[in-house]
Every structure is written in C-alpha cells, then in structure tokens.
Amino acid sequence: EDSPSRSCVEAIDVITRRAAELCQQMLAYSGHTSVEQKHISLPDLVREMAHLLEVSISKKTSLQLSLSENTPDIMADSAQIRQIIMNLITNASEAIGDIGGTITATVAPMMCNAGFLRACLVNDNCPPGLYTCLEVSDTGCGMDTQTIMRIFDPFLSTKVTGRGLGLAAVLGIVRSHRGAIHVESSPGQGSLFRVLLPAMSEDTPQETQEAEFTAPWQGKA
C-alpha cells in the first residue's frame, strides 16, 4: 500500500483497461467478438446494472427505469448486451451534459410490423413479429437529421473528448444478434434509441403495442 510505485502501477492498470475496452468496441463494431448466447431476461439484466449505471452518469442527471415483467427472454450474449446498455446510457448522459436532465431506460415487448422495421435506422431485413425492446431516452441536446444518419460511423463523435466508438459498437452487437435500432431525435428535444432484439416467445403479452412510425430517412438505411 505504501509503495512509491503504486500510483504508477494503478495508472498503467487504468490505461490498459481503457485500451482493452477500445479494442473490444472495435471488434464489436466489426462483428468479430466471441459470442456465448443463452436465454436472458433483459429486465433482470438492467436491474442488476442499475447501481453501475447510476454512478456512470452525471450527478446532475437522474436515471429512471421502467421494466416490464412480462417481457419475453432473448437469446443473447449477456456481456455484449451489458455493453449496449452501458453505451446507450453513457451516450445519453453526454448528450445532457452539465445542464442536468433525465435519462429513462425502458424494457418492454413490442410487436413490430414491416413498416416500422423499414423505418429503423439499422435493420438487416428483420422479419415482422414480437421483439424485446430496450428504449433509452434523454432530455439532452438532440440531433438533426444529418447527424442521425452518421451516428453509427466509427470514430464519429460530437463531443470533444469522445472516441466515437460507443454507438458503433452498439451497431455491431445488434447486427450480430439479428436485431434492429430505431432512433428519434431533433435539436433541443432530446433523443430516443430503441434496440429491438428477437423475442424468444411468440406469445404476445397484453402490454404489447403495434409500432407505427415514418422516419425522415426511411428507405435510406
């Protein structure tokens, strides 16, 4: 504990972990990470991460959770799904900045028709049907349409200190899980990200809603 080298070793440890995280995000974007898929309850996963998520955002920002217990399980890699959750929450916190605001994370089943899926910014020919939806919304600065079209580009960042790989990693992970990403945002009005992952059950819970939305980039994704 009292070694004069301790602070240097701790600094090396932090830098090495950041380098490893950067490599993992690049691999996730390219779809070359190892995947160990199993049945996962997304509400339970978010609930387990609640404390970690709260300490990862600004103290001026509050985190609200809305987790439907009737949400069907997904077949997914838990480590990669955790990375999606953390990256979306961190991105929302950075969008809010020092002014403070609210981040809302919602998990619920969603019945998506073909029109809604075509309007998704990321959609690799996902079939209509029941999906488990992770929705992260914020009261931050929002984005214009031109920015929305580029948010998943590697190394694109609207923040001075950002690496621009958080959302790119989300893109790669969602594609490897045969999912889709729906984005809504406008300047000054905050942003909303929906990650849609195929549900394990074909039964439609009572809370399930039929999604209808026409995006400005429809047909371009």
- Tens digits of per-residue pLDDT, 36-84? 788 999 999 999 989 888 988 988 999 999 999 999 999 998 888 988 9
pTM for the full model?
0.75
pLDDT-derived band at 34 (thresholds 50, 70, 90) equals: low
pLDDT classification of 221: cutoffs 50, 70, 90: very low
Report d(CA 66, CA 64) in Å as an integer.
7
Distance CA 65, CA 47 (A): 8
What letter represents residue 160's amino acid? V
Query: Distance of CA 161 to CAs 78, 123, 147, 157, 196, Å?
Result: 28, 29, 18, 8, 29
Q: Is 61 exposed, middle or buried (0-12, 13-18, 19+ CB in 10 A)?
A: buried
Residue 74 bridge partners (DSSP): 40, 199
